């Protein structure tokens, strides 16, 4: 009988120790799972934003091609969608490469713009001044109030020795990650020749 009384205390200590170990394992599992979900969500944000940057690059190429076709065929450079390329070339370019080429700059220049779908039935796309509305990406990347959004900076060629003119387009996205940490940035560049 005395022996059983002595073993009861050990059993209580063993149960308490096993509860502590179980709690630590559970907490560790939740922590690892939470970090994994955060990493997955960050990858999703970057993937969606990279897709939007790619769409902007494709739209720029499309607009330039439409302009070149209209000029070559004589059908008129003043018709949509060739007019969008003319607008970009004449009104939205800058010779300042400092801000456009800065690797992690989240401050767009005054000539920044982006291409979005138009709600008017006569045209498919329109150019929107970056400063004319709240910065955005579609789909929205990040939830912070300091999202830089998505924008395009166009820098005209400075090469005066050749007659071929080109524009370097820097498509940038900048946002506060939903999982915290440093500001996320993605950028891509394309050089398009006028004709």
The tens digit of pLDDT for each residue in 24-54 reads: 999 999 999 998 998 898 888 889 989 989 9
pLDDT for residue 97 is more than 80: no
Q: How confident is the model at residue 3 (pLDDT cuts 50, 70, 90)?
A: low
The mean per-residue pLDDT over the stretch 156-184 comes to 78
Q: What is the pLDDT of residue 139?
A: 46
Rounded percentage of the chain residues whose pLDDT exceeds 70: 74
pLDDT digits (tens, 9 = 90+) for 120-165: 766 677 777 765 444 444 445 444 444 568 888 888 876 666 667 8
pLDDT for residue 22 is more than 90: yes
Contact 191, 167 (CB under 8 A): yes
* pTM, to two decimals: 0.73
Burial zone of 136 (CB within 10 Å; 0-12 exposed, 13-18 middle, 19+ buried): middle
Q: What is the pLDDT of residue 135?
A: 46
Contact 153, 172 (CB under 8 A): yes
Q: Report which of 134, 151, 135 is spatially closest to residue 187, judged by C-alpha positions.
A: 151
pLDDT for residue 13 is more than 80: yes
Please provide the average confidence, as pLDDT, over all residues in the chain.
Answer: 78
The mean per-residue pLDDT over the stretch 57-75 comes to 85
The mean per-residue pLDDT over the stretch 79-87 comes to 81
Q: What is the pLDDT of residue 145?
A: 44
Most confident of 105-114, 154-163, 184-193: 184-193
Three-state secondary structure of 58-127: HHHHHHHHHHHHHHHHCCCCCCCCHHHHHHHHHHCEECCCHHHHCCCCCCCCCCCEEEEECCCCCCCEEE
Q: How confident is the model at residue 19 (pLDDT cuts 50, 70, 90)?
A: very high
* Overall size of the chain counted in residues: 195
Q: What is the pLDDT of residue 10?
A: 64
């Amino acid at each position: 009988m005395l022996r059983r009384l002595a073993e009861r205390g050990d059993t209580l200590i063993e149960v308490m120790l096993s509860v502590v170990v179980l709690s630590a394992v559970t907490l560790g599992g939740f922590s690892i799972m939470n970090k994994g979900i955060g990493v997955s969500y960050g990858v999703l944000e970057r993937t969606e934003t990279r897709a939007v940057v790619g769409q902007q690059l494709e739209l720029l190429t499309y607009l330039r091609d439409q302009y070149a076709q209209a000029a070559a065929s004589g059908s008129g450079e003043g018709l949509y969608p060739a007019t969008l390329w003319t607008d970009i070339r004449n009104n939205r370019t800058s010779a300042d490469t400092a801000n456009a080429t800065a690797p992690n700059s989240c401050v767009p220049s005054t000539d920044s713009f982006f291409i979005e779908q138009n709600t008017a039935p006569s045209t498919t796309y329109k150019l929107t001044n970056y400063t004319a509305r709240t910065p955005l990406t579609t789909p929205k990347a990040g939830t912070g109030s300091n999202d830089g959004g998505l924008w395009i900076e166009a820098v005209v060629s400075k090469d005066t020795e050749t007659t071929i003119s080109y524009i370097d387009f820097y498509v940038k996205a900048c946002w506060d990650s939903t999982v915290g940490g440093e500001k996320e940035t993605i950028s891509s560049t394309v050089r398009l020749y006028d004709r």
